[in-house]
């Protein structure tokens, strides 16, 4: 089902929550993690539980609703939106983790899962489970996490276990106490995401701490857990980026309104500012509509168990890449028109610019879609 129009993300988040998140953003950057007031908003709205199964006390929202909320939080602030996005990605694993351990994991009202999808560790098979060793980078939100997830290469007697001549890789879920956090996030943007490194040394875990991400392996047979992981990841990263781009454009409108009051700005230049921003907003709205339409059609296919699902996934990947690409392009077209204030590292628009150019480096959406 296609959308009639595309709404601004502000309808999915309260004005007070936006104020609290933005008013704390500068302090959050200084500490390198989300501010306690930002976390209060997240816990109040249960934004870390959006994809946690209802049976474990989660929201278990549809993919479309998830994307609207994540785009809205990213519009409020890039770092807050990124942490909510990535930690919800880990929370989605609740559909696949063993029912033996899941109730305990998700019972905390402040539950938050963070981690890494890189196979940067090993899981040696033991008599009672696995022995874990490894170091993983870029674990957004790990300072607020109650549990940690990470991909490991399965080994036996020190050698990789092979499936079809390829190393067997499985995700695991670990107790926070078994993980050492190493401060390592030193980048120009997304400074409050706390996307630091973590390490696990010789930790023994039970066999039920590993799981498999596959619709056939889902314990919860809801459409959100039957949706393919690649497109789930692409769409959630895309809206995190688009939310920041929308924030940037909104700030441009405020800045351009002030600049047009300057006597040194000619009528022609004033008209150029208005034209550039209007065109950018129109083009972006059209691309966002295309994106949400593609997502909704793919969700319908999953809900209806449509055997043509693969045909609907191609447009989703293409729309996700296109949305991320257009976000970068439009922001870079508008940035030179914002004046020197936009280059001040303490300004809100500069933070949005830095966040967007950091988030858009995510490898998942940098290169052209492999299914295009």
On whether both 117 and 203 belong to a single domain, the answer is yes
Query: Is the Cβ–Cβ distance between 119 and 151 less than 8 Å?
Result: yes
Q: How far is CA 224 from the centre of its chain?
A: 16
Q: Does the residue 3 lie in any domain?
A: no
Quote the tokens at residue 286.
Answer: 């059209």
Going by C-beta distance under 8 Å and a sequence separation of 6 or more, which residues neighbour residue 224? 51, 60, 61, 62, 63, 66, 92, 95
Residue 270 — pLDDT band, cuts 50, 70, 90? Answer: very high
262: domain CATH number is 1.20.140.10
Cα separation of the two ends of the chain = 22
Q: What is the mean pLDDT of residues 95-102?
A: 97
pLDDT of residue 173: 98
Q: What is the per-residue pLDDT across 295-337, written as a single tens digit (0 to 9) for each?
A: 999 999 999 988 888 899 999 999 999 999 999 999 999 999 9
List residues bridging with 163 in a β-sheet. 166
Note whether 210 and 234 are same-domain residues: no
CA 339 to chain centre: 30
Query: What is the predicted pLDDT for the residue at 368?
Result: 62
Tens of pLDDT, residues 3-26? 667 899 999 999 999 999 999 999
**What is the pLDDT, as a whole number, of residue 367?**
77
Q: Are residues 126 and 208 in the same domain?
A: yes
Instruction: Give a yes or no: residue 183 inside a domain.
Output: yes
Per-residue confidence (pLDDT) for residue 309, from 0 to 100: 87
Residue 85 resides in a domain: yes
Q: What is the H or E stretch that residue 249 is in?
A: helix 229-259
Together in a domain, 128 and 242: no
> What mean pLDDT is reported for the chain?
95
145-166 pLDDT, tens digit per residue, is 999 999 999 999 999 999 999 9
| Residues 317, 231: Cα–Cα separation, whole Å | 6
Residues 174 and 245 in one domain: no
Query: Could you tell me where the DSSP H helices lie in 24-136?
Result: 25-31, 36-45, 63-76, 78-91, 102-106
How far apart are the C-alpha atoms of 150 and 139, rounded to whole Å?
9
Q: With respect to residue 312, please indicate whether it lies within any of the assigned structural domains.
A: yes
Does a structural domain hold residue 371? Answer: no
Which of 214, 248, 278 is a domain's end point? 214
Q: Which of 214, 244, 261 is the last residue of a domain?
A: 214
Q: Are residues 144 and 251 in the same domain?
A: no
CA nearest to 327, candidates 276, 279, 260, 280: 280
Q: Which value, in Å, is the radius of gyration of the alpha carbons in the chain?
A: 21
d(CA 83, CA 26): 16
Rounded to the nearest 10 degrees, the angle between the axes of helix 267-303 and helix 309-334 is 160
State residue 307's pLDDT score. Answer: 82
88 and 117 together in one domain: no
352 domain residue, yes or no: yes
Q: Quick one: average pLDDT of 89-105?
A: 96
**Helices and strands, counts by H and E, the chain:** 12, 9
Whole-number pLDDT of residue 369:
54
Q: How many domains does the chain have?
A: 3
Task: Provide the CATH number for the domain around residue 50.
Answer: 1.10.540.10
The DSSP H or E segment spanning 125 is: strand 113-125
**139-150 average pLDDT score:** 97
What mean pLDDT is predicted for residues 43-72? Answer: 97
**Per-residue model confidence (pLDDT) at position 358:** 98
Query: In which domain, by residue range, is 276 found?
Result: 227-366
Q: Which of 153, 184, 214 is a domain's end point?
A: 214
Q: Which residues lie below 8 Å from residue 348, measured CB to CB, with a gap of 6+?
A: 22, 25, 251
Q: Is the pLDDT of residue 2 over 80?
A: no
Place 372 in a pLDDT band, splitting at 50, 70 and 90: very low
Domain with residue 118: its CATH number is 2.40.110.10
Is 126 part of a structural domain of the chain? yes
| Domain match, 186 and 236 both | no
CA distances from 205 to 102, 135, 342 (A): 15, 17, 49
Residue 294 sits in the same domain as residue 350 = yes
The answer on 199 and 307 residing in a single domain is no
| 42 and 127 belong to one structural domain | no
Question: Which pLDDT score, from 0 to 100, does residue 8 have?
Answer: 96
Instruction: Give me the mean pLDDT over the 30-52 stretch.
Output: 98
Are 361 and 255 in the same domain? yes
Short-list 252, 268, 256, 267, CA closest to 349: 252
Assess whether pLDDT exceeds 60 at residue 36. Answer: yes
> Rounded to an integer, what distance in angstroms lies between the CA atom of residue 254 and that of residue 163?
56
* pLDDT, position 235: 98
């Amino acid at each position: 089902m296609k959308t009639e129009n595309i709404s601004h993300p502000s309808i999915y988040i309260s004005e007070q929550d936006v104020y609290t998140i933005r008013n704390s953003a500068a302090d959050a950057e200084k500490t390198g993690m989300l501010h306690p007031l930002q976390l209060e908003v997240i816990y109040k709205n249960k934004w870390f539980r959006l994809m946690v199964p209802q049976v474990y006390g989660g929201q278990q929202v549809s993919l479309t609703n998830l994307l609207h909320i994540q785009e809205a939080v990213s519009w409020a602030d890039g770092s807050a939106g990124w942490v909510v996005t990535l930690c919800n990605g880990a929370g989605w694993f609740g559909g696949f983790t063993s029912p033996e351990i899941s109730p305990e994991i998700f019972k905390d009202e402040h539950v938050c899962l963070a981690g890494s999808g890189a196979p940067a560790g090993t899981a040696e098979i033991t008599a009672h489970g696995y022995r874990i060793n490894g170091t993983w980078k870029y674990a957004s939100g790990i300072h607020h996490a109650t549990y940690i997830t990470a991909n490991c290469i399965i080994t036996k007697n020190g050698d990789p276990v092979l499936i079809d001549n390829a190393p067997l890789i499985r995700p695991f879920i670990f107790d926070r106490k078994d993980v050492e956090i190493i401060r390592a996030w030193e980048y120009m943007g997304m400074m409050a995401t706390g996307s630091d490194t973590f390490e696990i040394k010789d930790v023994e875990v039970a066999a039920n701490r590993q799981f498999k991400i596959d619709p056939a392996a889902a314990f919860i047979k809801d459409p959100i857990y039957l949706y393919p992981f690649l497109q789930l990841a692409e769409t959630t990263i895309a809206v995190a980026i688009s939310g920041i781009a929308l924030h940037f454009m909104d700030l441009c409108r405020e800045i351009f309104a002030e600049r047009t009051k300057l006597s040194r700005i000619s009528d022609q230049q004033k008209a150029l500012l208005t034209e550039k921003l209007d065109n950018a907003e129109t083009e972006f709205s059209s691309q966002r509509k295309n994106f949400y339409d593609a997502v909704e059609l793919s969700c319908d296919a999953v809900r209806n168990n449509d055997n043509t699902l693969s045909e609907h996934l191609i447009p989703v990947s293409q729309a996700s890449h296109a949305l991320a690409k257009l976000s970068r392009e439009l922001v870079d077209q508008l940035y030179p028109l914002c004046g020197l204030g936009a280059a001040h590292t303490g300004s809100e628009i500069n933070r949005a610019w830095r966040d967007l150019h950091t988030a858009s480096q995510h490898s998942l959406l940098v290169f052209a879609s492999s299914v295009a």
